Structure 1
């Protein structure tokens, strides 16, 4: 065998004669004859072809030639297309230094592996108009690059089980475009910080910039984050530290690159030491970052263990993202501490925040409900009516409430007498109060369980730390608590027996349930018998109680359930059945986040009001969101004749008054702003502590406590609003200078590539959104698929309950294949003559622009189009071109002039260089520009 590689076709070679003269040529073919390689060469300028031994040839490439890497292996990926920089001979071998702009690398490669190509600039200047269908190929190549870049810059076209909203897309785009990943995301409650984080991770993964991620959350949210990332973003690689895996030796960290961990676990010394051995992370995310508190007292700093954890980890990453809706909380020193954590190099500026609040504009991103819109610019959050339904309770209910209050007073007193050890008793008392406010069935069941526990006299106190409970299922977790087997106070068992007897009588005459069925549901269905109703309760016992009552009235199968015991797939099935044929969906707080029912339902009933007002905001968000076509109607059922429900009513009324006062401060008051502030205030008020005092301190003291808490919340919200006026926020015009990419472009690309590759759409359904396709044999072979028939869609909503439907997002194997084919040099489309409504445009060129950080690492790419007028004026990313891309390309006839071509292309190069300069900042420095395609407009 020859010791040399066999040159690829179109490799440039030269032959040096004994007299020192040389001739250049391109390789036409080569044959390995065992003892030598014979190469057939087309000699440049001589119109002559001859076959010569490879040993007589040297590298013939010259600087500035456009080339393509052809690997000498089927398993290696090509480095793509590039430009020759220079050549050398080393160890008797000729090598070529090639600049590969797509890879961002300059590499020395064997000249035998390099093939000359004609790039788009070369073709444009020479007037190469391409094949007959060049306009369509030009369009599809442009779409392939545009779709990939939009996904890389937003993560919005990756696999998602949600349709991202414009404000979410723009937040991710803004952060990535800034060139700096250190941001505090302070979006208002309910705007999807989890979704934004997932999209950010997806975008970074698309850039191949995400090898190691550490996501730190409160203990009760670790599993929720794992579920969300897996179910919504297909990021199943995230494991929970301490639950899914443990570290026994430092080297074991090499096995775990995508980690979720509890901040309270990590702050402990032994876990912090273990984490130190984990090495560096590409990105660290802190959820509920307001828990990272550092207070300043004079010249002294008092940092919590959680803050110290974050400060420790700051040294192990160059990128940290903090998530919290309430980062300020009326405490300027705490807020500044968070900013210093993000940008320690700007500490001096941050200490002057009160004088220069505008500096947060490139550190903090804040979206408000009052500002966000759908893709058409329509406000998303509007059209909501809330109605309170008062139930007058029976004498039996009043008697039961009096007895329960006596039980609670004795329980709280017993807990207080034990000091810290008595906290568990106080917690149980609070749970019983919440259960009683939910339904007679829920409190009766809990009291019976408590009596059984005392009668059996088995076991120790097994109450868990509430901080460890999954926050989504907190109510369900509460009602399943196993309590101490000893009496909380003398005579508890006798009082329990009395309470249970009264609960039995109350259940026989449950006016709340009767009002729910006879008045509310009957009225809703009276005018619209097919109306669907979403019902919320905190507890599974209440959920089962309502299901039994509804099915007894309206028939078996009319009710679906969602609760924390259900696997994700069972939840999906329940939602699908509800949207299809069931009339009622009863959900615990497990459905308060993550399920979207706005397309087929607009009526909600809160059978019980959550003690945490934030839960109410989240419940309503299941219907009151993007895609809701009708006015959302929310019914809240309560019985103000009982002590606890009086307090609940007082609290909600007081909160509503404060929210209205704050919203009225703005001259542009609107309902959306009211909801913004409700989310903030509800998150700032510690409702549980207020209500726990109610039994022992009395109603007057409770009213005072509520007012005090709300006064503090109001002041904090005001300060936060003033400061956040300077934060970055959703701006629908932020991407005006970039090529506008929509769902229509995705569909236009797919259908166009189907035609090019012979993929047939044999049938459609669901108003044309679901396609049944047949793959030709060549495509099947390329994809390694044995089946030629597929059911595909570009509509995410369709795939939610159709597991066998293939979603054509940018994680799809079929979509990736289509993109790869369109981007290949052999696909053509590098130059074309196009027809279309492109006013004042003589030519169009497209390029990839790239920026890097100060250490040469790529931080940003843009696919950019240049509309060039005959006089040399250039418009970047004209809207007319974005529209032209949506329809099949029509090839025109044109006779280009080389001199004019050179002038047009020079104007495009100057515009590209200007765009590189405009985007550059302290974090972004120009890396390169790579021309993709060019066309003349007829």
Structure 2
């Protein structure tokens, strides 16, 4: 027994004071001999508790065996309590990966097919098997929260976040040693001192890299340049047992880069990229790719309904046009100054970029942000004057700040109002002082993924407070801009209201979703829609934790709930809205893949109607013209290649493939920024043409390379589908466990159950995933549900004294001997751990008995023995410690579980002495 690692078996003792020990949960380890304490063997403890069968003792023993065997079933992926759509292609992938040796794969499913869910299911299955103690999930900074929510709140996997305030850090000790399940952003991790600590920590059972196409290595002539991301993956490759790379676009049109990515998984699979192209069928060993066209429901029906995307163009009014031109001048000056300042100008360039994005969203949003920035610039000037001891100037500027606060918050000019103004002023001053040192840190943190809509939304508040970088005379520039903001309802808002009026005239109960990136736009829209349609109800889904987003989703979904949902960028991920079929994009994110993610909220599995998407585009703005230009070029390529569907739209799979590749050939931020400096869009047009041509060429290269990859078909799913056998066993386990606890797990109707426990509230359960997804009060029966997991933990740790019974089977006097049930943990030469349940029947003469093994399948048939035991206690001990060990070893070799250089440990789960 080791105080930290638990019970094990000594394999050998070396001269240096260390022993080789096989620990059941960890496999083989070297530990100091003086840290070990000799204990009575588990089988001896089991045998010492041998006693006659009683109904209660037999019930507990049955539960103890099931508690260990249920998580090892082939169908364990389907026995999840997570309320997610569990699709055939996901079940097949999880089964393949979890049962592979070695587990090193690139999972390259198309966007929308659930790579995060697949990864969570793999982690969950390995954890239940006892094959996952240490796991590291490395993701882009913007996806850390999404992964944490998916793994912890949905799948209950207990991962911690490294590097975030309030979470795990490495300031005082090596966090990679102390914490076994971590999510970390790749930018946080790749710092030199952290890589060193990471490599000093014990090896990981599984490492996952999300968005793995960022692990890049380039060749220039004979030189190979490896990015820091690639070097990190290369260093970790030999510090983990299993490795998963995730990417919907793993091949960026460069065979060398892709070959280097494959080498991370298997360095000997191909000699070079030429060998990879010539022998592309070998990619099946490490690459799994499923497309939307292949994926289907369990009954073979298509997963995705049709979708149509319309572009609703409009032009700005004269006052809007005047303001927009003035704002372009402001942005032009900002970009020019940022360019002159070089690296120092990066923060100012970031401020201008966010302003440009906000302006493309709504004038209401840009007005609110300009006002907040003007206030912060004013307070900043007051602080600077105070530092120069200019008391008169400071007081004059502070008075301007008070007037701004009074106007922004609509406060009265009385004693109460003035007190509130001073409170707001003090809070803003504190906020500004805190932010002073964060300017460069913020822009640096967004460098790698600054084109994403999520980061753009986070910048709305930041640009207001980022006043350490500013234009000359910026306060006056902003005052002039604010004077020109139109007062009437925005043209874009009027277009939306008119469209909603037409829709609700046709179907008054239609549910509608409107996406807008920024809170300023959302607030103005909510006000306008509630004034125009006071009886419809408006729900807002914005930032916050996943629970808040789910609550908004649930309120919107209710039949009597609001009919319109306003979503910020926070609603783009992790929320399923397929119960609605109409979506308006009030503003358009610069990265078109973000737009695809928005559409994916309604165009997903479970959508029964055609998904209708309406994009609102100001055709006389730079942003609108670039969007239309991109659509025009994409349509042209699609027509040339025959990739147009029957509605004349670009085929969805083609669009996703090209846009997926386009992100690596084009910087959207730079494209839109340069358009300010070149209003004719001549350079933008040329850059788009080149980038789209390269993206399509990359798509063709990928298609050719991947054409020999194994396709998904429903037969693969049916071959591993147990037709509900595993679920029936789990339900039976729950019913018996509830009964032993003095409660009841009773069936209400087909697939629905009610759990009654003394002193606890009633719980409703179902085996129907569809029903569980629709009702919050209905629990899905699954291994990780807290109630069932508590039972599994309780009975898998049943004491050895309760695991040996004496009885008979249906009065059969010929069946005399032992029935033993063993949990075997084998470790291969590569560190792979495999667990099996083995049933051995042994006659009194020591020979193996298939008859007794068949009886072992249902030990609940046992009854108390009518005669005194014929098998003495020492004879039982000799059979288990001697003959049973020989038979077990022979069975493991025969079944192929043991190979050269593999080792194993066995644990006696149950012993039944069969008497007349």
1:529 is matched with which residue: 508, 512, 517? Answer: 508
**1:424, distance to aligned residue in structure 2 (A):** 2.5
**1:499, distance to aligned residue in structure 2 (A):** 2.5
Distance 1:627 1:376 in 2: 13
Evaluate the alpha carbon distance shift between residue 193 and residue 636 of structure 1 in structure 2; reply closer, same or farther with a 3 A threshold: same
1:165 is matched with which residue: 71, 84, 87? Answer: 87
**1:802, distance to aligned residue in structure 2 (A):** 7.2
Structure 1 partner of 2:19 = none
Structure 1 partner of 2:583 = 604
**1:208, distance to aligned residue in structure 2 (A):** 1.0
Distance 1:110 1:553 in 2: 74
Evaluate the alpha carbon distance shift between residue 324 and residue 659 of structure 1 in structure 2; reply closer, same or farther with a 3 A threshold: farther
Distance 1:112 1:386 in 2: 70
Distance 2:380 2:120 in 1: 48
Q: Following superposition of structure 1 onto structure 2, how do residues 458-473 of structure 1 map, counting pairs within 5 Å?
A: 458=381, 460=436, 462=439, 464-466=441-443, 468-469=445-446, 473=454
Between the two structures, name the one with larger relative contact order (CA 8 Å, sep ≥ 6). Answer: 2
Alignment of 1:288 onto 2:211: yes
Secondary structure class of the residue paired with 1:561: strand
Q: Normalising by structure 1, what TM-score?
A: 0.70
**1:577, distance to aligned residue in structure 2 (A):** 0.9
The superposition leaves residues 704-724 of structure 1 with CA deviations (integer Å, 9 ceiling, x where unpaired) of: 111111111111111112112
Which deviates more from structure 2 when the two are superposed, residues 470-479 or residues 509-518? 470-479
Gapped regions of structure 2 (runs ≥ 5): 9-21, 29-38, 384-435, 811-820, 840-857, 862-887, 912-916
Secondary structure class of the residue paired with 2:240: coil
Q: Following superposition of structure 1 onto structure 2, how do residues 450-529 of structure 1 map, counting pairs within 5 Å?
A: 450-458=373-381, 460=436, 462=439, 464-466=441-443, 468-469=445-446, 473-480=454-461, 481-482=463-464, 485=467, 488-490=470-472, 492-505=474-487, 508-518=488-498, 520-529=499-508
Distance 2:48 2:772 in 1: 44
Distance 1:370 1:650 in 2: 28
**1:397, distance to aligned residue in structure 2 (A):** 2.1
Alignment of 1:267 onto 2:172: no
Secondary structure class of the residue paired with 2:620: coil
Structure 2 partner of 1:39 = none
Distance 2:900 2:637 in 1: 43
Distance 1:290 1:848 in 2: 40
1:571 is matched with which residue: 549, 559, 565? Answer: 549
Secondary structure class of the residue paired with 2:540: strand
Distance 1:713 1:235 in 2: 38
Q: Is the 8 A contact 1:184 1:364 kept in 2?
A: yes
Distance 1:587 1:863 in 2: 53
Distance 2:311 2:194 in 1: 49
Structure 2 partner of 1:853 = 828
Structure 2 partner of 1:703 = 685
Evaluate the alpha carbon distance shift between residue 665 and residue 607 of structure 1 in structure 2; reply closer, same or farther with a 3 A threshold: closer
**1:725, distance to aligned residue in structure 2 (A):** 2.1
Alignment of 1:413 onto 2:336: yes
Q: Is the 8 A contact 1:157 1:810 kept in 2?
A: yes
1:641 is matched with which residue: 620, 626, 629? Answer: 620
Which deviates more from structure 2 when the two are superposed, residues 671-680 or residues 701-710? 671-680
Q: Following superposition of structure 1 onto structure 2, how do residues 65-464 of structure 1 map, counting pairs within 5 Å?
A: 109=41, 113=45, 115=47, 148-150=71-73, 155-241=77-163, 243=165, 244-248=167-171, 253-346=176-269, 348=271, 352-458=275-381, 460=436, 462=439, 464=441
Evaluate the alpha carbon distance shift between residue 696 and residue 852 of structure 1 in structure 2; reply closer, same or farther with a 3 A threshold: same
**1:616, distance to aligned residue in structure 2 (A):** 1.0
Structure 2 partner of 1:551 = 530
Q: Is the 8 A contact 2:7 2:24 kept in 1?
A: no
**1:486, distance to aligned residue in structure 2 (A):** 7.1
**1:567, distance to aligned residue in structure 2 (A):** 2.6
Which deviates more from structure 2 when the two are superposed, residues 383-392 or residues 342-351? 342-351
Q: Normalising by structure 2, what TM-score?
A: 0.72
Secondary structure class of the residue paired with 1:376: coil
**1:730, distance to aligned residue in structure 2 (A):** 3.1
Alignment length, in residue pairs? Answer: 761
Q: Is the 8 A contact 2:347 2:469 kept in 1?
A: no
Higher helix share: 2
Structure 1 partner of 2:605 = 626
Gapped regions of structure 1 (runs ≥ 5): 1-70, 80-98, 119-129, 781-785, 833-845, 865-884, 891-908, 934-938
Distance 1:722 1:932 in 2: 55
RMSD: 5.0
Q: Following superposition of structure 1 onto structure 2, how do residues 624-703 of structure 1 map, counting pairs within 5 Å?
A: 624-658=603-637, 664=643, 671=651, 673-674=653-654, 676-678=656-658, 680-684=660-664, 685-697=666-678, 698-703=680-685
The superposition leaves residues 61-84 of structure 1 with CA deviations (integer Å, 9 ceiling, x where unpaired) of: xxxxxxxxxx9xxxx9999xxxxx
Evaluate the alpha carbon distance shift between residue 756 and residue 774 of structure 1 in structure 2; reply closer, same or farther with a 3 A threshold: closer
Q: Is the 8 A contact 1:263 1:306 kept in 2?
A: yes
Secondary structure class of the residue paired with 1:734: helix
